[in-house]
Chain A
Amino acid sequence: MTMPKVAQRKLDDTGEVPVVKTGGPHEPALPADVAACLGERLRAYYAHLMNDPVPEHLIRILEAMDGARSANNDR
């Protein structure tokens, strides 16, 4: 079990929780450091996916449309 450490630490440090206002008054909002952490993790996750090698057959779709000119131009 993980404790709610982020919120706990904030309360210990400053006695208050900074809140990111991203929505209207009825929207839930996250503490600033949680929002920042979440953003970082999402971007790292996505960068990881982007680095996954693109399958050959997807690249070949583009080569096919170029016709013979680059059909054998694999690299």
Chain B
Amino acid sequence: MTVDPSVRQAVLEAIPHLRAFAISLSGNITYADDLVQGALLRGLENLDKFQPGTNMQAWLFTILRNQFYTDMRRRRKEVEDADGAMAERLAVMPEQSARLDFSDMLAALAKLSVEQREALVLVAAEGVSYEEAAQICGTSLGTIKSRINRARTRLAELLDLVPGEDIGPDRLVRATLLMHASV
């Protein structure tokens, strides 16, 4: 099989991005590399379906994400307590990724719903546009914005950047007033 050098280059450049996305999505480096490998193989098999001039990276992201969801659905069928199993799998993640030294962020991301996690990582970390993220995630622009917004709020709580539960000027002012009142 011969591949256009520019296409080859685009695929090559996409690999670190695909890995970072897959690790963020799954919380498991070994599985993430399997996902990347699968996406690369599937992408190369289906190169004829790739439209030249469009974004190779986004195309591969979509393939990888679809595989992740397929795996997740299969796992749900296999395991009765699907959410429990997922949480358990993600819970072992910080240890596995200790060498990556960002286990606090990985652990916090793992506590988000997968929909929020993928949206936030794509836009806030990977830097794709809202439109592109909506396309990759197969949803609407409004949904993506809403997911990212909720994800940001939750992540800020999880990372202790804001007081838990309620965020907003009203609550903060009220909390401060209460604090002063009790002194």
Asked if B98 CB lies within 8 Å of chain A CBs, one says no
- B116 sits at the interface (CB 8 A): no
CB of A46 within 8 A of CB of B24, answer yes
Which chain A residue shows the least CB distance to B3? Answer: A65
Q: How large is the interface on B (under 10, 10 to 19, 20 to 34, 35 or more residues)?
A: 35 or more
Chain B residue numbers with a CB within 8 Å of A28 are 149-150, 153, 167-168
Give every chain A residue within 8 A of B56 (Cβ-Cβ): none
In the complex, chain B residues whose CB is within 8 Å of the CB of A59:
12, 15
Chain A interface residue count, Cβ-Cβ cutoff 8 angstroms: 42
Given that A6-B161, A28-B150, A62-B8 are contacting pairs, would A45 and B41 also be in contact in the complex, using a CB cutoff of 8 Å?
Answer: no
B75 CB-CB contact with A under 8 Å: no
Chain B residues near A42: list those with CB within 8 A.
105, 120-121, 124-125, 155
B-contacting residues, A1-56, CB 8 Å:
2, 4, 6-7, 11, 16-17, 19, 22-24, 27-31, 34-35, 37-39, 41-46, 48-52, 54-55
* Cα A55 to Cα B37 with chains together (Å): 10
Contact call B149/A29, Cβ cutoff below 8 A: yes
**Contacting pair B33 A48 (CB below 8 A):** no
Partner of A62, one of B33, B40, B121, B149: B40
Whether B8 pairs with A7 at a CB distance below 8 angstroms is no
B121 and A46 contact, CB distance less than 8 A? yes
Give 8 A-B pairs besides A2-B160, A30-B162 with Cβ atoms closer than 8 angstroms: A4-B160, A7-B162, A11-B172, A29-B149, A31-B167, A38-B161, A42-B105, A52-B100
